Structure 1
């Protein structure tokens, strides 16, 4: 299935559905899930999929990206507010800066160019924009409020520095043999981790503020393309990183020491992952429209929740413990997971 073009029909609904929780001792319990879904309007034909998603720092606004532009939606009621055109046809990642004042939008046109645009948040005034990669940009990661990296289908990572509204290309890093689909920063250790079609997680040093080649280490346990990465929140002496792959596994790593800690097997392909804000569980959006909640300590799937009708491409966590999921057909849902067992 093409992750970026699958569509389904427009719909908007509010429903109450039971959750079946598969807990550690196979105890089955039931709760009520409030599922609110929206379909984003399009005037010509079927709705394009949502391919980027994030929540504002104050948890009042959901920001989604599709071929129609950037959608600003109130959270948690999922009321659409406005749509902003960004000037390029595909949006693949949205990242709010650490200080919460800037929104980085990345994408471009497949097989033609990669482009990013930085706007003030929430004013949406353009700060800087560049056409950079020779193919579409799939992912971005902030290293600080004035440093970020972009990873694209041209196999490259590019590091950028902002100064007085200008963007400087600091370094082009080459190491992947095929397109980069995801990148994450571990800022307290000055590291960037990237992965993609070549199945390998590459860990890059960013000491002195500049990415260095070659990578510090390559983590090559996956047997399929790596579609998403997520750093575990919270204070950990050794940082944890989760990776999701089309090999139907989610793997948990300690990338600073190159250790694979454990892994979970899934019944279907994952599309996106997101940690709860407290770092106690990992949400996995899957190709069957379900959101699966994994306990990172036992790697058990503790809950399987209804999300949207088809492939989930994006997941993001909210401060109240719920998750936003989005994907095919322009559908977005708020999913409320049951509290983890004590």
Structure 2
């Protein structure tokens, strides 16, 4: 429906016009756009959060805003630090038009480069090492970039039939797991660019992937999807080990640092703590008034940060006894 059609259709309908006026007033007074991604800084002393408004850095654990900045890339969806902690990659773009990744030095936060060429918004980024990274886009492509080569773009991985929304790199540094709206979880050989396998047990789009830390034996990757499940995979052999179904859709997931539990930020504003062995929810905690879109686990503390609707950013302390403290910014 075109904008002028809306105006002409409701020109002589006072009650509808009044309703539109109220709706516009509410929209105009809305606080901030939703937080779409959060990550801790390498030293664990601050949190980086991104949204359509740009990037903000908040001190930890009080979550006081230290600085905000606009990015050259609009509508940010993702953020990730390089393994050496010297660079931050943030990605986004204009839907159905273009997608880019902006690189910033850290801790200064100064923009240093911009990687484009995607035909739709960048939805996920992951670092291969301190000079190479991968970007996934709604244009169905995964692109491998190398900052040390003049051409920068090294390889394009393409097999997904719809938007690629999540990436996960295994510790071997050569195996990539991807997932997205086409409901599949796919495994790639980064040395050759070949698709190794596709796993299709999800019945709705996959929102996020997370590698289990500190795990012996075969690597385990968790996936969170619109079918309200978190599924646990051994991607190197193409096996789904187990799954748990939640009461609300998981939007983002993160493992606790010891790999003992996984934390899910859910569409009902709550976080759910899941035991991956017993595949059951051990805690359900209120966090966001609205949707919880993003979660990150502190690298050294028993705490998580949750981002969501209206720019909310909250701290949740998970205790072994099943209780929690919630601090609100």
Trace 1:51-200 onto structure 2 (pairs within 5 A).
51-163=36-148, 168-188=152-172, 190-200=174-184
Partner of 2:295: 315
Trace 1:206-217 onto structure 2 (pairs within 5 A).
206-207=190-191, 211-213=192-194, 215-217=195-197
Partner of 2:187: 203
Unpaired segments ≥5 residues, structure 1: 1-41
Q: Distance in 2 between matches of 1:44 and 1:94?
A: 27
Tell me which of 239, 259, 268 is aligned to 2:239.
259
Q: Of Structure 1 and Structure 2, which has the larger fraction of its residues in helix? A: 2
Is the 8 Å Cα contact of residues 73 and 79 (structure 1) preserved in structure 2?
yes
Unpaired segments ≥5 residues, structure 2: 1-26, 323-329
Is the 8 Å Cα contact of residues 271 and 287 (structure 1) preserved in structure 2?
yes
Counterpart of 2:152 in 1: which secondary structure?
A: strand
Q: Distance in 2 between matches of 1:97 and 1:71?
A: 18
Q: CA deviation at 1:67?
A: 1.3
Trace 1:45-56 onto structure 2 (pairs within 5 A).
45-56=30-41
Q: TM-score, normalised by structure 2?
A: 0.87
| 1:144-178 Cα deviation digits (max 9, x unpaired) | 111111000100001101118x6600011110000
Q: CA deviation at 1:321?
A: 1.4
Is the 8 Å Cα contact of residues 140 and 184 (structure 1) preserved in structure 2?
no
Question: Highest CA radius of gyration, 1 or 2?
Answer: 2
Q: Distance in 1 between matches of 2:321 and 2:118?
A: 43
Q: Distance in 1 between matches of 2:277 and 2:42?
A: 27
Is the 8 Å Cα contact of residues 128 and 167 (structure 1) preserved in structure 2?
no
Q: TM-score, normalised by structure 1?
A: 0.83
Q: CA deviation at 1:71?
A: 0.2
Moved over 2 A (4+): 42-46
